[in-house]
Amino acid sequence: MRTTITALIAAAAGAALVLTGCGTDSAGTSSTSGASTSAVESQAQFNDADVVFLEGMYPHHAQAVQMADMVAGHTDNADVVALAAAIKAAQQPEMDRMTTWLQQWGQPVPTPDMSGMHGMNHGAGMMSADQMDALTALSGTEFDRQWLTMMIEHHEGAIDMANTELADGENPEARQMATDIVTAQQKEIADMQAALG
């Protein structure tokens, strides 16, 4: 009896090892564990372009959120207030997802402050400290015009970064985020251009 139980345990263990070894086909999809394994695999699949995208987009989003926060107390323009709220509502959750992905990939996580951005090309739409200070000093119609102009430039930089990710990135979720950024920010640019008149 004991020999039979031992043999059954050994056979079960051997079968488990065989199934574990054969659980993934050459296309990288799991044949035994279903969607949960596919999600893990999609997170594990990334390249340098994905990391550069997230590490650059995180502080880029942080500056957009900072600009959105400036609106309170500087203007009563309903269009600008609504745009700022929409930008913050979209970009803060994206920042949280970027942090999670970078942690899962064992990569350093950027901080929301702008200290890491000084080396970033302002062609990416990042505003300088002087531009941000100048914007803070404005109010009313002057603030509206400058805020909208700066945010359009900022969004155009984000779209460029997202398009680079779509061209070079590998991670499916990061690429989907890039697609979402392009779609959302192109619409917001159109709204901001309309608000400028």
What local confidence, expressed as pLDDT, does residue 26 receive? 40
Whether pLDDT at 31 is above 50: no
DSSP string, 117-183: GTTS-GGGSPPPHHHHHHHHT--HHHHHHHHHHHHHHHHHHHHHHHHHHHHH---HHHHHHHHHHHH
What local confidence, expressed as pLDDT, does residue 44 receive? 74
What local confidence, expressed as pLDDT, does residue 197 receive? 86
Separation of alpha carbons 173 and 54, rounded Å:
11
What local confidence, expressed as pLDDT, does residue 113 receive? 63
Beta-bridge partners for 30: 24
What local confidence, expressed as pLDDT, does residue 123 receive? 52
Whether 177 contacts 99, CB under 8 Å: no
- The whole model's pTM is what? 0.75
pLDDT digits (tens, 9 = 90+) for 52-105: 999 999 999 999 999 999 999 999 999 999 999 999 999 999 999 999 999 999
Separation of alpha carbons 165 and 167, rounded Å:
5
pLDDT digits (tens, 9 = 90+) for 160-197: 999 999 999 999 999 999 999 999 999 999 999 999 98
Cβ-proximal residues to 161 (8 Å cutoff; 6+ apart), any chain: 53, 56, 57, 60, 124, 178
113 vs 85: which has the higher pLDDT:
85
* Whole-Å CA distances, 11 to 18, 24, 27, 63, 182: 11, 21, 29, 59, 54
Whether pLDDT at 116 is above 70: no
Tell me how crowded residue 133 is: count the other CB atoms within 10 A of its CB: 10
The amino acid that residue 30 corresponds to is S
CATH number for region 39-196: 1.20.1260.10
Separation of alpha carbons 151 and 143, rounded Å:
12
For tokens 């909208």, what's the residue? Answer: 148
Whether 91 contacts 61, CB under 8 Å: yes
